Structure 1
Amino acid sequence: MTDSTTTTTGLLSGKVVLITGASRGIGAAAARLFAREGASVVLAARTADALDRIVTGIRATGGTADAVACDLADSTSIRAAIDHVADLHGRLDGAFNNGAAIQQPGPLDATSPDDLETQFAVNFRGHWTAMVHEAAIMRRTGGGAIVNTSSIGSRRANPALPAYGAMKRALNSITETAAVTWAPDRIRVNGLTPGGTATEMIDAWEAATPGIIDQINATSPMGRMATPDEVAEAALWLLSDRASAVSGAILPVDGAAGA
């Protein structure tokens, strides 16, 4: 597993990177990692107190970090957060569109219309809105890179989380389309499909469905879930110039669970 004290190599030195869903889990791990790798990071989420604690920690270790409120279900809020990054730094070089709203686990015919709308707003429309506005800023400053967090649940039937899986599969599609559309603008767009990852989201699922963590571990060839740091490392590489020819990829980070 990734050690958060691993020596850094400056993969994002000089870059300005926005991270949504940065108050916990994969987003918080990414914020700390990207800052250690030289990026000026802007953290976005609804939970201001949690963001402030992470920003304070990054600054205490010499990193550059700021926070901005952002509700991924509100298109106006998303655009305002991205504009805030441009106001702070005059540019946007990378964006890690992360964050997910978990639905009440259950079968397809028990998914409520309200839950379906929530999944659509956060896991699909929110990413669409963010990408379009991020690309508009990147286009003015010579290009950039975008990474969207999808899910292993987008790559196969997902009876336990049907709406979540459907929206994440749609996200894969627009990620690929965006990569082709914006390639002439020197904007790369990729996605990650994490498998089971030890985050607060999984803890909430375990509380609703006891035994789900053991089930996830049992279905992983590695016998365990990924850590948030391990998923963040994959996003780091995709956002860096080391991945300069990689665009339109949907990269599994699942310990071979989807193989």
Structure 2
Amino acid sequence: MTAPNSLPDFPVTAHTTMLPARFDVPALNPATPGLYATTSWTEVAAGEPSRHINGVEVRGPNYGGKDAAGVWTAPWCSVPPIDSPERKEGTRPGILDPFEPVTVWAYDECDLTEPSRREVEARAAQVFRLQEQPMVEREFAARLLVDAGELPGGIAARPTLKEAVAYLEGEGAKTNTMVYFHVAADLVAIEPDLFARSGTARVSPSGHTWVIGGGYVAGLANTIVATSQPFGWRDTVQVRTAMDEHRNLFAAIAERTVLVGYEAVVAAVGIA
């Protein structure tokens, strides 16, 4: 067998003009409002087990059931009949269904060269960093609406945003707690005076915290849901890579598991 006299011809790209200058845009930070800013997080380190993988059942003592508290006006020395509304007895509310985790991911790919590999990993991590919260908000919104539909009066309806907020303010005040109003980001501009700044947060006229979510635009639309403090569990972000030499492909996936829950849905209102 003899060696070839010359190397095979490879396609050559000829540039007749100078190539454009390259500018790499700096990585942006996520917007500060939203579900993540108001959630009390339990961070799971990379070497720790994810105890939220099978869901979390949230229990709490803060929100009583129907007639769980009242004012007694019966005579002091008498015992009201068993069926009297003056009896000091009520019901304990049921525990909400366990909250389920979601795995959020972002992907990028390019060729196998060393500079390309670093770029692929960085892009997957940055896309994940910006898209994680709105994706979680969209999933979380579905659970909000399910629990809101189980309220004794269901989801209330009001004709305007201002009247909807007035309804939520009243329902929140009845609990004697500070609650969280989950709202789509596009509704804020309708009545900006209802979303006053308090440091980095936005608060209602009575001081309740607004949870303004980009994922709620599609997830909640014109419905606002008031809940107790959101609590969350999340793993450390992992960037995993793979190579396909046959296709000259290097791929990276950034991902982690996230779970957000709450003790109670206080009220919900749709803007008609």
TM value normalised by structure 2? 0.28
**Which has the greater radius of gyration?**
2
* Greater share of residues in helix: 1
Q: Which structure would you say has the larger RCO, counting Cα contacts within 8 Å and 6 or more residues apart? A: 2
